[in-house]
């Protein structure tokens, strides 16, 4: 009788902390037990996937959010809804942060991704303005980037400096919005943090293939969202795939964080090299054995504590 090969996504290296290993074992087991899902095709499919993601996020983040207890305030910048997250440890006069959430361009929200914003606020002592941008397929890249730019411009009117950060798809949007702000002569963020960002919608990096069996992300399921966010004919555009951007002077110092267990590792490496080749300040931090956007889920592990401290120090260095 043929014995089924073990699921490579369940492998946990001995090189990660015991705390991280325990959590990764639970996450891997949950993901492996989920039934296969067909990629979304209709608007109803996308809405159903978004609803499932939000329900899962609400269940998983309720306890840590209750412990953080941030103060929330909704507002709008133009047509873009924003959720401001004020930590208990807010430092008076500290430059604020703007957050662009992940979710594969078609999922997530300021509330579903609230834990990431709350952790960023708590660890830095800064107010975080989370952009609730319109999701694909209801909006494509031009509208989405326009909404993030509008929030940046609104925040910039009230402060001499601000930081911008995003994770996964949100990292792609944040990097592109920074290009758009710079090229328009508008106020750009003083520093940029990108967590496991998408930088090439065409997936041309080495690890897009070599690490695919080990990543929790299913590229086949995500592919329709990429096409909904931007037509493949536009994937060469710098505001769609920031790896194709011109990082001339005016692009802010950038910190990239990524794990060794994700297909987007090459996206971060390639963007880091492009920034350095253009003479810009870029710092790439690669975390051993860590999956895609580990920072919120593993926030209390040694790896998560180190990542958030690193981000907070980066803000402190560049947001004087």
**Catalytic sites, residue numbers:** 168, 262
The CA-atom distances, in angstroms, between 14 and each of 91, 288, 289 are 39, 10, 9
173 and 145 Cβ atoms separated by less than 8 Å: yes
DSSP assignment string, 150-183? HHHHHHHTT-S--EEEEETHHHHHHHHHHHHHHH
79 and 147 Cβ atoms separated by less than 8 Å: yes
Q: Half-sphere exposure (CA, 13 Å, Cβ side) for 189? A: 29
Strands 97-100 vs 163-167: parallel, antiparallel or unpaired: parallel
Q: Half-sphere exposure (CA, 13 Å, Cβ side) for 219? A: 17
């Amino acid at each position: 009788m043929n014995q089924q090969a073990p699921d490579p996504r369940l492998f946990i290296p001995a090189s990660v902390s015991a705390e991280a290993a325990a959590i990764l074992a639970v996450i891997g087991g949950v993901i492996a037990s989920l039934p296969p899902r067909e990629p979304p095709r209709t608007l109803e499919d996308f809405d159903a996937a978004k609803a499932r993601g939000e329900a899962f996020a609400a269940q998983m983040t309720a306890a840590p959010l209750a412990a953080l207890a941030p103060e929330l305030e909704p507002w709008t910048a133009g047509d873009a809804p924003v959720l401001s997250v004020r930590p208990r440890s807010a430092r008076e006069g500290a430059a604020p942060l703007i957050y662009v959430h992940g979710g594969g361009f078609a999922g997530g929200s300021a509330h579903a991704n609230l834990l990431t914003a709350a952790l960023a606020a708590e660890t830095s002592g800064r107010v975080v303005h989370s952009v609730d941008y319109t999701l694909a397929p209801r909006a494509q890249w031009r509208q989405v980037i326009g909404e993030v730019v509008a929030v940046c411009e609104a925040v910039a009117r009230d402060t001499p400096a601000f930081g911008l950060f995003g994770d996964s798809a949100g990292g792609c949007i944040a990097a592109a919005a920074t290009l758009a702000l710079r090229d328009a002569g508008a106020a750009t963020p003083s520093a940029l943090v990108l967590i496991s960002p998408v930088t090439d919608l065409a997936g041309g990096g080495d690890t897009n293939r070599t690490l695919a069996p080990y990543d929790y992300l299913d590229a086949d399921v995500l592919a329709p969202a990429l096409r909904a966010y931007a037509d493949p004919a536009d994937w060469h555009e710098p505001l769609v795939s920031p790896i194709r951007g011109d990082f001339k002077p005016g692009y802010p110092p950038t910190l990239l964080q990524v794990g060794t267990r994700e297909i987007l590792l090459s996206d971060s490496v390639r963007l880091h090299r492009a920034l350095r080749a253009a003479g810009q300040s870029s710092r790439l931090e690669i975390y051993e054995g860590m999956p895609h956007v580990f920072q919120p889920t593993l926030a209390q592990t040694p790896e998560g504590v180190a990542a958030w401290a690193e981000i907070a120090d980066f803000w402190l260095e560049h947001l004087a």
